Copies of this chain bind each other. A is one copy, B any other.
Amino acid sequence: MKVIILAGGIGTRLWPLSRTNYPKQFLKIKKMARSIFQMTYERCLKLTDHQQIYIVTNINYKFLVVGQIEELGHQIDDRQILIEPVGKNTLPAIYYGVKEIQKQGDDITVVFPSDHLIKDEERFINTIKQGENLADQYIITFGICPTKPHTGYGYIKPKEPLQVGNRVDQFKEKPDKETAVNYLAMGYLWNSGMFMFRTDIFCQEVKEYLPDVCDAFKSPNILDIYDQTPSVSIDYGLMEKSKNVAVIPLDVHWSDLGSFDAFYDEFDVDEQGNLNFDKDILIDSSNNMLYSNKEKAVALIGVHDLILVDQKDALLVCRRDHSQRVKEVVDRLKELNDPRADYHLTAYRPWGSYTILEEGFFYKIKRITVLPGKKLSYQLHHHRSEHWVVVKGTAKVTIEGKETFVRSGESTFVQTGFKHRLENPGKVLLEVIEVQLGEYLNEDDIVRLDDDFGRSSGTLE
């Protein structure tokens, strides 16, 4: 069995926790040991071998995918990470994965989003495996057994039963409350966005209902393919049209974490209904969600039903029943070209991460963390000098070809225009405080002379 994980989503409704460059699926949420991408990946390992898992994402998330899989103790081949040059909704993403799988021959394939939270893992795995009984005839979708008349999800109306599950009668858009109540009474299921099919059957269906997509993928060049293919979802483009669709009910706890209100529902609250991730001071306050930095003193007095998310560079205060509107904030920030729509203060790189601690006139301070055995590119900057103070571990520093070791408590200095490289030759994390000085301090002032990760000059990745 093959698996395609869709990991290119840029959901904006958990801002400021998530940002365009670090979306929901990769978030390390407090009280959870792993990101939901990592949980998805580990679930897939119970269905198949890690060699059989394909991940469709975009270039911005490539190193997040690699890094988070490495963190789980696994390796992933480059051929298993499919980079879409641009997002064109779910159908082209799945088709891209399918075409890659077909290089090894046709097979039964399961498709999972990577941004959904699922509990009851054993039942989940068993139900997914049952799909194989229908895969010779049907494209299978898994429908979540609903627990309440939710108006934020699409529904699936089943008709006559099959060996397992049912044929699908109709897909229904997000309903209003009254309709949702009816849907529940009539046994409709939530549309979860999880599918199973034989790749040859899937391709036949795409050829029939979406010939434009099929044609686009005949181009040898991925840029051309994504330039030509229409943007279309698998639901609208295929599932609603195909005559061979089955649905298997999936009776597990499931959430798309599509808003902070859904997020709130996933955790235990205290007696006053507060979900507090730290030891904050709550006076006469109830039914709030409070997510802040543990270093910060936060106090609430006399407030109720609020979502409060405090990050170093951004603060959201939102009434819980308005949490769908967080997207409007992100839209507003994008209009203003505000980088906080897209970036955290902490940026993840293939070699580790950095956090901007402070920006002032002509200077910027970063904490740089380099993973054991990794090195940054050999590079130079035209507009800034860099002071490095090692606060943890040992750095191997190359400046204009000369190598030195800089130990914890020691420092070094890189002049403007000098070629340099920072490397962690050790077995523990390397932490460096960098003070940059210069009249231009943006990340794109970088000339890369050599890079372990194949990155070019003037780019962020």
Contact = CB atoms under 8 A, between A and B. Distances in A.
Name which of A292, A313, A359 has the most chain B CB atoms within 10 A of its CB. Answer: A313
A317 B314 contact: no
A352 to B, nearest CB: 15
Contact of A333 (B281, B300, B317, B433): B281
Contact of A317 (B303, B323, B358): B303
Interface in A398-414: 408-409, 411, 413
B303 A319 contact: yes
A424 interface: no
B387 A297 contact: no
Interface residues of A, number: 58
A308 B385 CA distance: 39
Interface stretch (A37-45, A80-88, A138-146, A362-370): A362-370
Given A302-B322, A315-B310, A365-B357, A281 B389 contact: no
A387 B411 contact: yes
Given A283-B329, A301-B317, A385 B363 contact: no
A284 to B, nearest CB: 7
Contacts of A312: 296, 312
A362 B392 contact: yes
A178 B359 CA distance: 53
A450 interface: no
Contacts of A382: none
Q: Is the interface of A mostly helix, strand, loop or mixed?
A: strand
Contacts of A318: 299-303
Contacts of A301: 316-319, 322-323, 325-326, 328-329
Given A297-B16, A310-B315, A358-B357, A433 B392 contact: no
A437 interface: yes
Given A301-B322, A315-B296, A328 B283 contact: yes
Interface in A331-364: 332-333, 338, 340, 357-363
A329 B281 contact: yes
Interface in A217-269: none
A65 interface: no
Nearest to A283: B328
A281 B341 CA distance: 13
B338 A317 contact: no
A380 interface: no
A16 B281 CA distance: 13
A435 interface: yes
Contact of A358 (B296, B300, B360, B367): B367
16 contacts: A281-B329, A281-B332, A283-B328, A284-B325, A296-B314, A297-B314, A297-B340, A300-B317, A301-B317, A301-B322, A303-B317, A306-B317, A357-B357, A363-B391, A387-B411, A433-B435
Given A300-B318, A358-B365, 20 more contacts: A295-B359, A296-B315, A297-B313, A298-B315, A299-B315, A300-B317, A301-B323, A301-B326, A301-B328, A302-B319, A312-B312, A317-B317, A360-B367, A360-B391, A363-B433, A387-B387, A387-B389, A408-B437, A411-B413, A435-B435
